[in-house]
A and B are shown apart, each in its own frame.
Chain A
Amino acid sequence: MKRTSNIFYRLDWVVILIYLLLIFAGWINIYAAVYDEQHNSILDMSMKYGKQLLWIFAALIVGTIVLLIDQRFFPLFSSVIYAFTIALLLAVLVFGKEINGARSWIAIGSFRLQPAEFAKMATLLILAKFMSKPNFSVYKIRDLFKIGMYLVVPFALILLQNDTGSALVYVAFVFVLFREGLPGWVLLTGVGLIILFIISLLFSPIVILISLVLLLLLIYIRISLDKRRSLYVAGSMAFLSATFFIANVYMELQMNNYLMVMFPVALYTPFLLFSFARKKLRSGLFLLLFFWGSVGVNYSVDYVFYNILEEHHRKRINDLLGIESDPLGWGYNVNQSKIAIGSGGFSGKGFLKGTQTKFDFVPEQSTDFIFCTVGEEWGFLGSLFVIGLFVMLMIKIIQIAERQRLAFARIYAYGVLSIIFFHFAVNIGMTIGIVPVIGIPLPFFSYGGSSLWGFTILLFILLNLDASRFELVR
């Protein structure tokens, strides 16, 4: 079987069709976003849409080249590609050009390259290579540690470029690990942490603490074997806590309310631990772990929020949670973006008719906020179409992943899915005010050569692997 002549027959053309539709829709919307009367030719090379067309043609050529490469090349050269990308990321830190506060570009003449867009693919390749080794297991701490190392290097370097959005993408690889056997509670804990973080920002610590104590007591009564005893224990604990709290408030003991409520619980904890251990009640142990973990998270949220996060992160989060707003200041982008999308209505204002789009009310509209153009000019129907395309693409990728015979290809496919999903969820989520503003592009859609090429290579490697999946069993 001559693979060079036949790979095109084995390609998944549905994925390619979705891909082509996305880049075409993106290009049309970029045209609308930067449209002005003087330069209204869609082929005008001095404008973003003209350039994007150039990037599209180049991407198609790059994609074709990727398809022509032998599939064995990818696992074989993954380390080299990874090392080369890391070198590029380092180079950016030294020689990089700073745009919008992020030092993410390498400029060669008028041509600018954003290595972070390619680092995702490179990291994924080496991860897939590593995780597809026969003796790999997510239960081995050593292996998990190695995965962490592979991820942390590009993550840290991109963070140093001040490109938080592109760095956070690496968090998405948790899906890959999950598919490869990472216990479900890790994901749940992650979700729990996010929820607790949000709750901690929205409510005062004492309210959360009292709720947690009540929750602890209720669950304790529920799981306890000796109901009467548990009622007694829980009752006395609640009574003590309440007494301490009320005494503190009314007798002005000048003690920390937090400590007053916690003290009785802390007092009872060794006793409970002992009794759960003796009765081999695992759920009881988990309960205590959950309780103290939550208290710890709650206690440290303020620290994380005020000392680790930066000012603009805090503001974006506060804006999202409705704690603070400044529609003319730092909340401007999201506010204008919501206005643009919201004003589109059911069927949109029509191509080139969006006033928010045409009159530049939304900053970064051809790149990170390209979805606004869709929402405004094509309305709910247009938004549904774009979201539909992405969902189809992602479901298709799951399907492709699951039909792979090689672990490498499957892991790689889930990696592609994770990256696309993260970009999709965060990008569209921020334009409609569900996710804090994190500057990452919408895959295949946003303006920019690096991003388009990065995603094209990412996807076309998958197509290549998929098309070649029968080769080794021939």
Chain B
Amino acid sequence: MADIDTSGGGGGGKHSGGPRSKKMSTRVDLTPMVDLAFLLISFFMLTTTLNKPKAMELNMPKKVIDEKDKQDVGECQVLNVLLDTLDQVWYYEGLKVAGLQKTTFAGDEGIRKVIMKMIKKVPKECPQVRRWKDQNGDGQKQDNEFAMADRDAIVLIKMLKGARYKNMVDILDEMDITDCQIYAIQDADPIEVEAVLNGGVVKEFARE
């Protein structure tokens, strides 16, 4: 197929008279060419598929206009997560700012573990949630998000001024990984900011 016919078929009237030159093989070894082609193919395949940007969905709440849309949640359902400017994560449960603790984003041992624990703990130990369950059965009906806010852990994400955007994405990623359904992004209270800046020490506990 790839051979070039060198027998001189179209040579006109020349007959085999003179000393015939030795036939050279014109077969070219195409193996390196194929190698190269496949190398390039793999390069293009990898670069085209891996370069696609991905996106994370973020739904922000509408402003609550109607007072009756607001609902009470139990203090014990709430986990406060604070992100500071040094990529550290601080957290405390409920209103106990004094119990502020520091952790990181590092894998299973960091904030993920804290959130997981909270999600497991809330349905068992939280009195509000237990009461809700007594009234509404075992929480099988998942009709709307408000019903869920009655019985699941709620994570309040609070970012200090100057925290990096990366940390916001990281914590939202953790929400996705731990399958935490209810979370909100808020501003940090002054007392929380102060507590974080003091390395977790709350000087005076004044919060209504």
The reply to whether chain A is a binding partner of chain B is no
